[in-house]
C-alpha cells in the first residue's frame, strides 16, 4: 500500500517544532523555530554551516534540551529528554558523524543501539529475523558478522540506518547522509528513502546539496542564523532561490583564469604501487606529475585508490614500489615531518578524524602540524591572535579561539582545518575532498582560496568525488579506476559524462 503525504489534510503533522529556542552560551543556535513535518513527507532542512540544523535535530533526538518551546508528535506534546525517549517515540537518527563501535560486528552494533537507546529485545535471533524482514521489504542486505571498521562508508551508514529500522522507527532523520557517499551509493540511498516513504515513513533530510533537495524532497525548510526563514513545497522553488534564502545574497562561483604553469614538474610520481590497510593493492602503477601553478584533479568513485595515493604522497603509507620525487629529491621514503620541511602539506579526506582534537580549544588545534620551533616557542598570545585571524579569514563561526573544536558545527570544523593548512603557505598542497560538508558560500570561498594558491605558483593535487568541483578547478584531470589511471583529460576537453564513463571503466 502506498501512503501519500497529507499536506494540510486531516491527520496532524508527524512532528511540530513549536517555537524551539536554544542557546549555547553566547550562541543563539535555534531562534524560536516553528516548523511542521507532514507525515509521509521527505522534508529537507537546509542552511549555512552553523545555521542550527544539527542542533534542532539533536533536540528532537533528546541529546539536547530546548531552552523553550515544545515538540509535538502526531499532535501530542512529547517530552523527549534522552535518545531512548526519542527511540520509544519512533524517531531514528543517522548522525552526521556516525556513532558506531567500530571494532564490533554489525549485529552487536544493532543490538546495542549505543546512543543510550534500549538494547534490542529478543536477542540475536529476533534481530536476525528482523534483518531478514527488512532485506525482504527493502533492498537492504548486510552481513551481520562483518566488523564495522572493515565496511566501506556506505555500508557503515546502512548499519546506522538499520539501528533505527530494527527499532521500528517511523520518523527518520538523516544528517548530511550523502556527504561521505559516492554518487552510486547516494543513488542507492535515495532509492531506499523513496521505498521508505512509500511505506509511510517520514524522513527529515539535512543536506548542503541543493540538487538533492530538488531531486528527492517534497518540501524544504531553510534555516538562517538559527531562525527558520521559510518552508516551501519543492515545486514552488529552485536551487538559486534556496541558496539566496540560505545566505541572504547571491553566490558567485569563482572562475578559473587561464594561466601558464611552469614547465618543470614539482612533484613527479613514477610507477607507484601502494597497498591498502587490508594488504590488497590499492594503487597500481600510477605515474603523474604536478607543476607549480597547476591544479591536477584526480577524479574517481571513492575507494578506487585515491585515498591510498594521497596517503602515500603525504608520507603516511609506504609505497611497495615506484618512486616519488619533489623537484630533484627522492621523497619516496620521507616522513610527514620531512615533507612539512619541504613545504608539502596534506589535508586529509577524513579531516575530522585525523586533523582535529575535539576536546581541545580551537587555538590549540591551530598548532597541530605547525613546525616544532613554532609549536614550542611562540607565546600563547600570538597563537591566540593568529587563530582569531584565521577564523575571521575562513569565516569560521563563531570566531572564538577559546571554543572547543568539538563545539563548532561540522562545516565550520572543515573550514578551520582547511584554513590552518592553507595558511602554512605550502609549495605543494595535497588535498582530499576540500568541500565535503560545507555550505555553498563556503564552497565558493574555498575554491577561490585554492585558485589564489594556484595563481601564486603553488602546485595542487586535488582528489574529489565531486565532478563539478574537479571540472571547475583542474587544469588537468586524471581518472582513477580500480587503482589505475583510466585516462587523462585537459580542462575544457571533457565533461561530466566523459569523466563518468572513465570512472565506470567503460571508456
Q: Least Å distance between CB 155 and Mg ion?
A: 22
CA torsion angle for 449, 452, 457, 459 (degrees, to 10)? 30
- Candidates 6-14, 32-40, 48-56, 458-466; binding stretch for Mg ion (CB under 5 A): 48-56
The listed partner (ligand ATP, Mg ion, none) that binds 52, CB under 5 to 8 Å by sort, is: ligand ATP
444 vs 431: CA distance, rounded Å:
16
In the list 5, 30, 54, 412, the residue contacting Mg ion (rule: CB under 5 A) is 54
Nearer to ligand ATP, 209 or 427 (CB): 209
**Is residue 410 close enough to count as binding Mg ion by CB under 5 A?**
yes
The listed partner (ligand ATP, Mg ion, none) that binds 49, CB under 5 to 8 Å by sort, is: ligand ATP
CA angle 485, 156, 478 (to 5 degrees): 15
- Contact (CB, 8 A) for 101 and 181: no
Per DSSP, 361 falls in state B
The listed partner (Mg ion, ligand ATP, none) that binds 50, CB under 5 to 8 Å by sort, is: ligand ATP
**Is residue 306 close enough to count as binding ligand ATP by CB under 6 A?**
no
**Is residue 399 close enough to count as binding ligand ATP by CB under 6 A?**
no
**Is residue 411 close enough to count as binding ligand ATP by CB under 6 A?**
yes
Nearer to ligand ATP, 82 or 374 (CB): 82
**Is residue 412 close enough to count as binding ligand ATP by CB under 6 A?**
yes
- x/- track of binding to ligand ATP for residues 442-461 (CB under 6 A): --------------------
**CA-CA-CA-CA torsion sign (409, 415, 418, 421):** negative
243 vs 252: CA distance, rounded Å:
11
Q: Least Å distance between CB 68 and ligand ATP?
A: 16
44 vs 218: CA distance, rounded Å:
8
Number of residues interacting with ligand ATP: please give it, by CB under 6 A.
Answer: 19
Residue number of the CB closest to ligand ATP reads 411
The listed partner (ligand ATP, Mg ion, none) that binds 398, CB under 5 to 8 Å by sort, is: ligand ATP
In the list 35, 51, 193, 216, the residue contacting ligand ATP (rule: CB under 6 A) is 51
- Contact (CB, 8 A) for 305 and 482: yes
Bridge partners (DSSP) of residue 428 are 344, 459
Nearer to ligand ATP, 5 or 54 (CB): 54
DSSP secondary structure, 10-26, as one string: SSPPSEEEEEEEEEETT
* Distances, alpha carbon 419 to alpha carbons 390, 416, 430, 451, in Å: 7, 5, 14, 14
Q: Least Å distance between CB 240 and ligand ATP?
A: 20
- Contact (CB, 8 A) for 239 and 229: no
Residue with cell 578524524: 353
4 vs 154: CA distance, rounded Å:
28
- x/- track of binding to ligand ATP for residues 24-43 (CB under 6 A): x--x-x--------------
Binding site for ligand ATP (CB under 6 A): 24, 27, 29, 47, 49-55, 397-398, 407-412
Binding site for Mg ion (CB under 5 A): 54, 410
Amino acid at each position: 500500500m502506498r501512503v501519500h503525504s497529507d499536506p494540510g489534510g486531516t491527520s496532524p503533522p508527524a512532528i511540530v517544532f513549536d517555537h524551539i529556542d536554544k542557546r549555547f552560551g553566547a550562541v543563539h543556535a535555534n531562534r524560536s523555530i516553528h516548523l511542521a513535518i507532514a507525515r509521509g513527507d521527505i522534508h529537507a532542512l537546509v542552511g549555512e554551516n552553523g545555521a542550527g540544523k544539527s542542533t534542532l535535530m539533536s533536540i528532537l533526538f533528546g541529546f539536547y534540551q530546548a531552552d523553550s518551546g515544545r515538540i509535538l508528535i502526531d499532535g501530542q506534546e512529547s517530552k523527549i529528554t534522552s535518545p531512548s525517549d526519542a527511540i520509544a517515540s519512533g524517531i531514528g537518527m543517522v548522525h552526521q558523524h556516525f556513532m558506531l563501535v567500530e571494532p564490533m560486528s554489525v549485529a552487536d552494533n544493532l543490538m546495542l543501539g549505543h546512543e543510550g537507546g534500549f538494547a534490542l529485545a529478543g536477542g540475536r535471533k529476533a534481530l536476525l529475523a528482523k534483518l531478514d524482514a527488512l532485506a525482504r521489504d527493502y533492498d537492504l542486505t548486510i552481513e551481520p558478522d562483518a566488523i564495522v571498521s572493515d565496511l566501506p562508508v556506505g555500508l557503515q551508514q546502512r548499519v546506522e540506518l538499520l539501528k533505527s529500522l530494527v527499532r521500528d522507527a517511523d520518523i527518520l532523520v538523516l544528517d548530511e547522509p550523502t556527504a561521505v557517499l559516492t554518487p552510486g551509493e547516494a543513488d542507492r540511498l535515495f532509492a531506499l528513502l523513496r521505498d521508505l516513504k512509500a511505506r509511510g515513513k517520514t524522513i527529515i533530510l539535512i543536506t548542503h546539496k541543493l540538487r538533492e533537495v530538488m531531486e528527492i524532497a517534497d518540501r524544504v525548510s531553510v534555516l538562517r542564523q538559527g531562525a527558520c526563514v521559510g518552508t516551501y513545497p519543492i515545486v514552488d522553488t529552485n536551487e538559486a532561490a534556496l541558496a539566496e534564502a540560505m545566505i541572504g545574497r547571491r553566490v558567485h562561483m569563482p572562475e578559473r583564469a587561464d594561466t601558464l604553469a611552469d614547465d618543470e614538474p614539482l612533484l613527479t610520481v613514477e610507477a607507484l604501487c601502494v597497498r591498502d590497510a587490508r594488504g590488497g593493492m590499492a594503487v597500481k602503477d600510477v605515474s603523474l606529475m604536478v607543476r607549480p601553478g597547476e591544479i591536477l584533479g584526480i577524479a574517481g568513485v571513492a575507494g578506487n585508490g585515491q585515498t591510498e595515493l594521497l596517503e602515500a604522497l603525504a608520507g603516511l603509507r609506504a609505497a611497495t614500489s615506484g618512486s616519488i620525487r619533489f623537484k630533484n629529491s627522492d621523497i619516496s621514503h620521507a616522513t610527514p615531518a620531512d615533507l612539512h620541511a619541504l613545504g608539502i602539506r596534506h589535508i586529509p579526506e577524513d579531516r575530522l578524524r585525523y586533523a582535529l582534537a575535539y576536546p581541545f580549544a580551537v587555538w590549540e588545534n591551530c598548532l597541530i602540524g605547525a613546525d616544532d620551533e613554532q609549536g614550542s616557542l611562540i607565546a600563547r598570545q600570538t597563537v591566540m591572535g593568529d587563530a582569531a585571524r584565521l577564523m575571521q579569514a575562513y569565516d569560521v563561526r563563531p570566531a572564538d579561539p577559546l571554543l572547543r573544536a568539538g563545539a563548532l558545527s561540522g562545516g565550520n570544523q572543515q573550514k578551520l582545518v582547511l584554513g590552518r593548512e592553507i595558511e602554512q603557505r605550502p609549495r605543494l598542497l595535497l588535498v582530499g575532498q576540500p568541500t565535503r560538508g560545507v555550505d555553498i558560500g563556503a564552497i565558493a570561498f574555498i575554491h577561490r582560496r585554492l585558485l589564489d594558491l594556484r595563481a601564486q605558483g603553488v602546485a595542487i593535487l586535488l582528489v574529489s568525488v565531486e565532478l563539478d568541483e574537479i571540472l571547475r578547478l583542474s587544469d588537468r584531470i586524471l581518472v582513477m579506476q580500480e587503482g589505475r589511471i583510466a585516462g587523462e583529460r585537459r580542462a575544457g576537453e571533457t565533461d561530466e559524462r566523459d569523466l563518468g564513463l572513465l570512472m565506470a571503466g567503460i571508456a
